[in-house]
Structure 1
Amino acid sequence: MKFVADFHIHSHYSRATSRDLSFEQLHKWAQIKGIDIIGSGDISHPGWLAEIRNKLEPAEQGLFRLKKEYAVPLQAQVPVSCQRAVRFVLTGEISNIYKKRDHVRKIHNVVFFPSIAVAEQFQNALEKIGNIRSDGRPILGLDARNLLEMVLESHPESFLIPAHIWTPWFSVLGSKSGFDTIEQCFDDLTPHIFALETGLSSDPPMNWRLSQLDRYTLVSNSDAHSPSKLAREANLFNGEMCYSNILATLKSGDPQKFLGTIEFFPEEGKYHLDGHRKCSARLSPKETIANNGLCPVCGKKVTVGVLNRVEELADRPENSSHSNSKPYYSLIPLTEILGEILNVGPATKTVAQKFDKLLHKLGPEIDILMNIPLSSIEKTGNSLLAEAIRRMRQGEVQIAAGYDGEFGVIKVFTESERKKIGKQTAFFQDEIVPFAETTTNTLPVSLVRDAETPDSNQTEAANKSAAPVQFTDDFEDESGLNQHQREAIKYDGNFLLIIAGPGTGKTRTLTWRIATLIKDKGALPQQMLAVTFTNRAAEEMRERLIDLLGTATAQLITIKTFHALGAFILKNEAQLLNYQPNFSIYSDDEKTQLLKRINPQLSQKQIKMLSQQISDAKNDLTEIDPNATPSQTIRDEQFELLFQRYQQALRERLAFDFDDLIVQPIDLFLTHPEIKQKYQNMFRYISVDEFQDINFSQYFLLQQFITSQTNLCAIGDPDQAIYGFRGSDRRFFFQFEQDFPGARTFRLEKNYRSDAAILKASTQVIQKNPDHQQLNIWSNLVSNRRIDIFQTPTEKSEAETIVHQIEKMIGATSFFSLDSGRTDQDDAEPVAGFSDIAVLYRLHAQLGPLEEAFLRSGIPYQTFGEIPFYEIPEVRELMSYLKIIHNPHSDSDLIRIINTPPRGVGEQTLNLLLKYQHDNEISLWQALNRCRQIAPLSETQKQPVIQFVELIQQVRERATQLEISRLLDFVLEKMRFRAYYKNDFRRQHYWNQLLEKLQNKTDGLTEFLEQVALQNETDHFNPRAEKVALMTMHAAKGLEFGVVFIAGCEEELIPFRRQDHPVDIEEERRLFYVGMTRAKKRLLLLHTKSRFLFGERKSNRPSRFLNDIEQALKISQQAQLKQKPAVKNDRSGESQLTLF
């Protein structure tokens, strides 16, 4: 059977769409239009999928129908002549915005699924990547190739079709953000692409000019944003009406089964020709080249349209075809034809009445436009309509092509003819209006441009963007090192301090020095120790050293954070401390839980204060060396008792807390001089990164390694010391030369990161600090861009301003941004990808309004407020099993898993075990092993506990024989996870993710658990994720971004004033300096007139730091957001924002 299909539509969950996009209305309008199969649209949106489950039911294989209770009430509104069976197929559009090959790519794709279960599984996978709830067409920072991979993995019959492949802004071949070939986009998965959507601004003959597209089936869809826009373009099939046949037909392109497409006249599309809408400048490709790609009115870049882009990529002349060419039919919507005849708009009531009358007499719109004989149309009493449809079918039309977002206009009558028609039209009356003129100057549909082929060099010049500024100077050698860097790297003395301003190549200098010591000075790599403050910095240093020295040599170098170094020492010397090497490292959360468990009489507030007091007591070292420093901690008998009880509880559980990782090695070195000497000999070459952030206990530990034979290099910047609130002390940086006689200081001053204006402005801020380092930081990255300072009314408008600016920088994130005027075409030249942008703030409390704005916009983002992978409940329970296998004395982990999966250990049983544990001051594992002796427990309660202990012991025995991934697999089987949770797909997804992470782990269980325990906040940042980064200025330390926003530049916030605490204005100024110097190309600073924070609204002055920046470097402005469309529930009408 023959059928018509329109696969690409939207729901009311998509931005800028009609609220009438419900399944009931789609079912009704599909009949009116003459469509047999319609895409569901927006399959990735959870709300729309819920409506699919509720309103649709299975029909033919892979297809769905509207349930009778929803279909019947509206059926009376469909003319009898139009009524037909309508089917739905599961589809949806995904917007992929990401960086690839150093360009921002914005690609839209339509995905197809054979069942609701598969669609739901895909939706769950997608939600782990980005926000799918703000927009029916979600914006994801995901490579289109990786999206295709996810689709293919979801089911053998799932597939993907690149959408509207020619639109300048959002398509695979688009001039603004696409590729030159399909292969460049989808890489190795390109063979799985078998169909392409041509879009409203192109028709098949335009695509036939590219031989690279010959193998693809060219499809056309309406991309409807309201029900009445269905079938503007559609596809014609012949065969069984089911999902598998549609898939097979699109794959094969069999001309007996795929009969062609219904098309817009491509000139009516919004991006057919080139031009500049603001200036009403419409240009042919030839004119664009002659004007060097610039608007002849204002001199700005024009938007290059589809026709120009086709011309650029074509390898065939016009009017070409090939063996795989299919028929196509260019139509004009019936309402537009009626509007032209009646000389009124197509959306008027008059047209609607005539349209409805025609449907009742003749049938669906597609049949009227394509199939019904002209004589039958004329018999309805309207020769004008019959003549108009005849001209449309023959391509005898008058065209003013669309450009730069402006729809084209297609007319069937000339201006003189329309004047004659005038008010004499006797529409649907018995008399026939005589038709005097016929059209002689017809315009072939595909020949609307000058046929002359443009010069390729001119085309390249017209589309080329300005070249980036290069930064090289005469002092850099072939390795890219400048003179100051080389001097520091080659210095032969034992003690070296490097003051490295922001962006001056600190890590590069440090790694080159290490490599030079090994390659040129004969140092042994195993005698090298590099100390960092974050795991991310350690990993970056490792990667750079591998590049410089090769993997084998680099792996011999010890690169660790201070805490990882302490754990390394404690593991090696565990027996001296009466510990086992399989000790646990307690996080702050586990520390708090333990304190509460052994001190149930204390309130949560008291527990928090006690935890801090214990940390202070350890870090001031008075426990192990009373002469080390004056104690700042109040010590009394009660505290001493609580302190000793806590330490005993740690020992019983074979655990150390974070502070112990520094303090216990110091204690070990002081009490065992031979151990200290062992490590002094082990590490003869020591490099310390971010030296300005070191605290007293870390500095004391470092000093234990140093002898007269040690080679010590410390690098950092006192102007970037921002952790004084947690004990870091800059004075150790300043006393380096005093503590290490003969030390030499070098300065790195050439900045390779930031635009000169950003650098100058940040220097003006930091130099107001009395103890500012007099570094002459400079950059030859020069542009005419100034620092933007925005004032907004409130924190919500501040967040909206940030989102608005990002949309401009990305080149708009959606057609909504362009068409609504939220982003101008002139602003839409992409300068950044999502991962190039960071929004920084002083406090986590500022995050709420920012997240709301990002969620509304659909812009993908990441924040450290998100749950780290290993803290996700489904992952954490498996991690607890691994931790118990490693060390069974971890109470919190035992509590988490003792009844997971359920094994009959109830709450009452657990409470009795915990009481026994507390009364006897033992670990919970010890209590479990004694459960037979615990009288209050019944035999029924004891049995599952005994079985659990036996299972854990069996797994622990096997653990030594298995690699870590196989060990986890064993746990999943032995503990009956797979059997019990066989239908829990969320759990299974996370199990598989964890197994995948462990698959390539060469380290053992101990090393893996240590890595996880020592992760900090900044280690969770993923620089490769195509998402905007939202983070505190503290968390941004060590990172860099093309564009940086700093929100909340107001007094009381920047600088931050804690209640009942004096402001450390110097450290606050350093923090702002760190935030500013994260920016490479653009810096935008925002402040509000009033802000709601901590339960009250306050009006604050702009930050004093803004006044430190000279006027010539900044441009201040009031944020003016363009009016956004009303939300769906409030709007009185619909807005069809069409793609082309």
Structure 2
Amino acid sequence: MTEVEFLEEYDLKLDEQQVALLTLQQHPMLVKGKSGSGKTFLFLSRIAYLLKSEMAQKEEMLNIVYDKRMAKEMTKQYRFYFGDDGEIPSFVDIYSFAYALIRRHCEATGRLLPKAYRDMSSVIRRLCKDMFAITLTKEQCSEVMGKISECRNLMMPEKQIAEIMIADRKNLDFLALYKEYAKFKDKKDIYDYDDILAVATEILVKDTVLLEDVKKHCHFVHVDDAQELSFLAHMLLKMVSSSTHELFLCADMDVSIAQHRAAYPQALDAFTQTYTNGEILTRNGNYRNNATITDACNRFYYKDKEGLQSISQETCELKFKGFADLSKLYAYALKKVEDEEETAFLYHDFAMAVPLIELFKEKGISFSYQGNMKHFLQDKFVRDMWNFIELLIDPRDMRAFYEVYEAMGLDISKRVLLEVSERLKADEAVDVYQALMESSYKQAGKKKLASLMERIRMAENKSTLDMVIFIKEKMGYNETLRKEGIAMNAPVILAFEILAQRYEDPDEFLYHLGALKDYQADPISRITICSLADAKGYEYDRVCILDCIRGILPQKEDSQKERMLFYHGMTRAKHELEFLASKRCTTHRLEISPYLYELHEKMEEEKRNETATVATPTAKKLRPTSLKRGMMIRHVQLGEGKIMKIADGMMHVKFTDGLKQMNMKLCIANKLIELC
């Protein structure tokens, strides 16, 4: 089959450059191209042509893609474009390929194959807790794991590892943690994903028989998203493809999403030195995004540099949707899917997608989603709040009390806990608080509990959201959050409170929250909910980016990684692109992402006007001298309240939760209050 016959048979419209790359090259080839330049379709088309023209057999091919999910997607796309005639090639990610090598070596040597785990975050958290008495936040855990991956993949010496520091965790000895983590894996005889690459490389260095056999079955090596490979992955690739000239790599050197997996795109800078007679070819043009979206991507990411070159003349309106309350954002998203448009809701933090998933589930909307609901439901804040609410619903729930008594600031011995448990079994009229007061618990603890008991019983009849606020403010949980370095408006807290606001009855709330655990979304749907990173390799008619809120997207404003991720999400949209943000969530004041100000000139002007306003009339309204008895104010956590008395720089404000005494200057300086 000639190139022309191939194009006609499958009704393909390839440009001259793509057609030239379909056939054998007789030398290693790296195809560079920006987003939307057609690299992936070229990757698929070349594989198909070599098979259809019988220049290659599928058993001779090694086709590497980004991850397992993309391997399935590539198989699906291949079937769609080139038919199911029994010649469907295999697509694998580099980790699956490496693990298969380890399996073959274990079978040959009689060794038991160690299990491999993708997510070892729970182990890292536990080690940090045991070794340093540190509770890592989700962001800190991600940073630690990224550093471990970097050390392993770059084969760092111990001296260099010892110099690594984790932000805001100066008492964390990274080298000690790194060694203890390695000991844990050795003891359990398990691998993480970085071990897979390291061990596979070591095996091929020592087992020359296996290496030569692998080379025979890797005569045609194709790699999509080669910029996402780590240094070890590039070493492995070099070893298995050293005997063939048919090495074909596609890469976007401007975007590397897998930095958490120690992606090392710098290796491609030395491509012609690494591979004899290697050639680099650049593809231009953006065939995916319309002209408006392309222009927005260039303004945001490339700025004054040469960016994407749109092929399409189509234009659209970039939509910036800001909502007074986060709950309205999700209501808008629900309305958005009423038409038949293919739509993707992309998020940076999975917690921000949970209220949307729950809403679509309850409304019977067909959708697919990528994300780990188990991680959300097992988050410490979610588990603690769940147990607190169960305890408020049923003050005899000893299990719930056992889970949260430390978060309540109570220091109770095992002996006292057993006393309380026995007392509850003996008398059904007694609750945990009464049982604790009657136990041998120390007097100081009883005094603290006594001050809480009346308010706790009053909270039993509150709505779910009011319960959550009560738990944080009256039962001492805010102090727990502060100690653990968790922001009061962390995504998991915002998401939890949106769900609490949605279901006022606590029992109903817990039922719907629990129903998320086993919920199975549709595998294929015109509506997709996934992370900015997981959208890699996909494109959608319409994209809505969900969590355009300062502190969430981006988490850190100087983060090039997050800027890259946001740009990557923008490039997934073919025809429509929307950005969704909110200024408030229940009692939390939120700010619009600075990224949106960069994208929208009008919003930038509004931001400047708001800054100017704060410097003149608004500041005057919020001077302590302008606050008067009888005025209504709004507190960021307590909501609306009435000033009842002002004296000696302090104001007494009546909120729904009761009378509060506040320092006026501190409230104004920290932007905790505003006039209603």
TM-score normalized by structure 2?
Answer: 0.56
For 1:802 and 1:629, locate their aligned partners in 2 and report how far apart those are by CA, in whole Å. Answer: 51
> Structure 2 CA distance, aligned partners of 1:598 and 1:1084?
40
Note if 1:1103 corresponds to 2:594: yes
Q: Which has the higher contact order (CA 8 A, sep 6+)?
A: 2
The answer as to 2:528 corresponding to 1:1029 is yes
321, 330, 335: which one pairs with 1:804? Answer: 335
Contact 1:686/1:710 (8 A) holds in 2: no
2:64 equivalent in structure 1: 531
Q: Indicate conservation of the 8 Å contact 1:1047/1:1086, yes or no.
A: yes
Distance in 1, Cα, partners of 2:148 & 2:589: 39
Equivalent pair of 1:692/1:716 in contact (CA under 8 Å): yes
- Hey, what's the Cα distance between the residues in 2 that align with 1:573 and 1:786? 56
1:839 is aligned to 2:345? yes
In the alignment, is residue 792 of structure 1 matched against residue 317 of structure 2?
A: no
Please report the RMSD computed on the Cα atoms of aligned residues, expressed in angstroms. 4.7
Conserved 8 A contact 2:286-2:309: no
8 Å Cα contact 2:346-2:532 kept in structure 1: yes
Q: 1:565-601: CA deviations, max 9, x gaps?
A: 11110111115666235x4333435x84699699978
Alignment pair present for 1:584 and 2:115: yes
Letter in 2 for 1:704: M
Cα deviation for residue 552 of structure 1 reads 6.7
Pairwise CA distance, 1:563: 1.2
Q: Compared with structure 1, are the counterparts of its residues 1038 and 602 closer, same or farther at alpha carbon in structure 2 (3 Å cutoff)?
A: same
Distance, in Å, in 2 between the alignment partners of 1:593 and 1:1071 is 27
Structure 1 residue 702: Cα displacement = 1.8
Determine if the alignment matches structure 1 residue 1076 to structure 2 residue 575: no
Q: Which has the larger radius of gyration?
A: 1
CA contact (8 A) 1:476 1:483 kept: no
Q: Distance in 2 between matches of 1:577 and 1:594?
A: 32
Deviation at 1:767, TM superposition (A): 1.7
Equivalent residue runs for 1:132-143 within 5 Å: none
Contact 1:484 1:746 in 2 (8 A): no
Whole-angstrom distance in 1 between the partners of 2:115 and 2:85: 30
Shift of residue 789, structure 1, vs aligned partner: 1.9
Question: Is 2:558 the counterpart of 1:1046?
Answer: no
- Does residue 1:485 correspond to 2:11, yes or no? no
Q: Indicate if the aligned counterparts of 1:530 and 1:558 stay in contact, CA closer than 8 A.
A: yes
AA partner of residue 1098 (structure 1) = L
Cα separation, partners in 2 of 1:1063 and 1:615, compared to 1, 3 Å = closer
Between the aligned partners of 1:550 and 1:726, the Cα distance in structure 2 is 34
Amino acid at match of 2:370: F
Tell me, yes or no, if structure 1 residue 661 matches structure 2 residue 196: yes
Task: Give the deviation of 1:537 after TM superposition.
Answer: 1.9
Alpha-carbon offset, residue 839 of structure 1: 1.7
SS in 1 for 2:263: coil
Corresponding residue number in structure 2 for 1:739: 274
Question: What is the alpha-carbon distance in structure 1 between the residues aligned to residue 522 and residue 182 of structure 2?
Answer: 40
Counterpart residue identity of residue 103, structure 2 = K
Q: Which deviations, in whole Å up to 9, do the C-alpha atoms of 1:617-644 show, x marking residues without a partner?
A: 5653489x66899657769995576355
Deviation string, structure 1 residues 224-268 (Cα, Å, up to 9, x no partner): xxxxxxxxxxxxxxxxxxxxxxxxxxxxxxxxxxxxxxxxxxxxx
Contact 2:300 2:599 in 1 (8 A): yes
Alpha-carbon distance, 1:661 to partner: 1.7
> Which residue does 1:574 correspond to in 2?
106
Q: Do 1:488 and 1:746's aligned partners in 2 also have CA atoms closer than 8 Å?
A: no
Following the alignment from structure 1 to structure 2, what is the Cα–Cα distance between the partners of residues 597 and 722? 27
**Residue 497, structure 1, aligned to residue 30, structure 2:** yes
Summarize deviations over 1:764-790 as a string: whole Å, max 9, x none. Answer: 3222276x6x4524225x25x322222
Give 3-state SS (helix, strand or coil) of 1:776's partner.
coil
Sort the Cα spacing of 1:521 and 1:1106 in 2 relative to 1 into closer, same or farther, 3 A. farther
2: CA distance between counterparts of 1:751 and 1:611?
A: 33
Which residue does the alignment assign to 2:558?
A: 1063
Distance 1:702 1:1044, change over 3 A: same
Post-superposition shift, 1:665? Answer: 0.2
Question: Percent identity, aligned pairs only?
Answer: 20
Q: Which secondary structure does the structure 1 equivalent of 2:216 belong to? A: helix
By how many angstroms is 1:1078 displaced? 1.6
Could you list the per-position Cα deviations for residues 259-279 of structure 1 after superposition, in whole angstroms to 9, with x for gaps in the alignment?
xxxxxxxxxxxxxxxxxxxxx
Preserved contact between residue 495 and residue 742 of structure 1 (Cα < 8 Å): yes
- Contact map agreement 1:622 1:628 (CA 8 A) in 2: no
Distance 1:1024 1:861, change over 3 A: closer
Tell me, yes or no, if structure 1 residue 706 matches structure 2 residue 204. no
Q: Once the 2 structures are TM-superposed, how far is the Cα of residue 491 of structure 1 from its aligned partner?
A: 6.0
Please list, as runs of the form range in 1=range in 2, the aligned pairs for 1:582-981 lying within 5 A after superposition: 583-588=114-119, 592=122, 605=135, 616=147, 620-621=151-152, 631=161, 642-643=180-181, 645-651=183-189, 655-707=190-242, 709-768=244-303, 774-780=307-313, 782-783=314-315, 785-807=316-338, 810=339, 832-833=340-341, 836-847=342-353, 850-851=356-357, 854=360, 859-865=365-371, 867=373
CA distance in 2, matches of 1:803, 1:566: 43
2 CA distance for matches of 1:865 and 1:621?
26
CA contact (8 A) 2:161 2:175 kept: no
For these two proteins, the number of residue pairs brought into alignment is: 451
1:197-226 Cα deviation digits (max 9, x unpaired): xxxxxxxxxxxxxxxxxxxxxxxxxxxxxx
Equivalent AA in structure 2 for residue 798 of structure 1: L
Distance 1:491 1:713 in 2: 10
CA drift at 1:706? 3.0
User: 1:612 deviation in Å?
Assistant: 8.0
Match for 2:348: what amino acid? Answer: R
Distance 1:1022-1:719 versus aligned 2 partners, 3 A rule: farther
Q: Deviations over 1:473-503 (max 9, x none)?
A: x999942222232133236142212224334
Once the 2 structures are TM-superposed, how far is the Cα of residue 856 of structure 1 from its aligned partner? 7.3
Contact 1:841 1:1032 in 2 (8 A): yes
Query: CA offsets per residue over residues 343-401 of structure 1, 9 Å max, x none?
Result: xxxxxxxxxxxxxxxxxxxxxxxxxxxxxxxxxxxxxxxxxxxxxxxxxxxxxxxxxxx
Classify the secondary structure of the residue corresponding to 1:1038: coil
Deviation at 1:1023, TM superposition (A): 5.5
- One-letter amino acid of the structure 1 residue matched with residue 101 of structure 2: I
- Equivalent-residue separation in structure 1 for 2:568 and 2:325 (angstroms): 25
The 8 Å contact of residues 290 and 310 in structure 2, kept in 1 or not, is answered as no
TM-score, normalisation: structure 1: 0.35
User: How far apart are the structure 1 equivalents of 2:288 and 2:327?
Assistant: 31
CA contact (8 A) 2:158 2:175 kept: no
1:849–1:644 distance in 2 versus 1, CA, 3 Å = closer
Instruction: Structure 1 unaligned segments of length 5 or more: list them.
Output: 1-473, 811-831, 873-992, 994-1019, 1117-1140
Map 1:552-571 onto structure 2 (within 5 A). 554-555=87-88, 557-571=89-103
* The one of 44, 52, 66 aligned to 1:511: 44
Residue 621 of structure 1 contacts residue 628 of structure 1 at CA under 8 Å; is this kept in 2? no
Matches within 5 A, 1:111-260: none
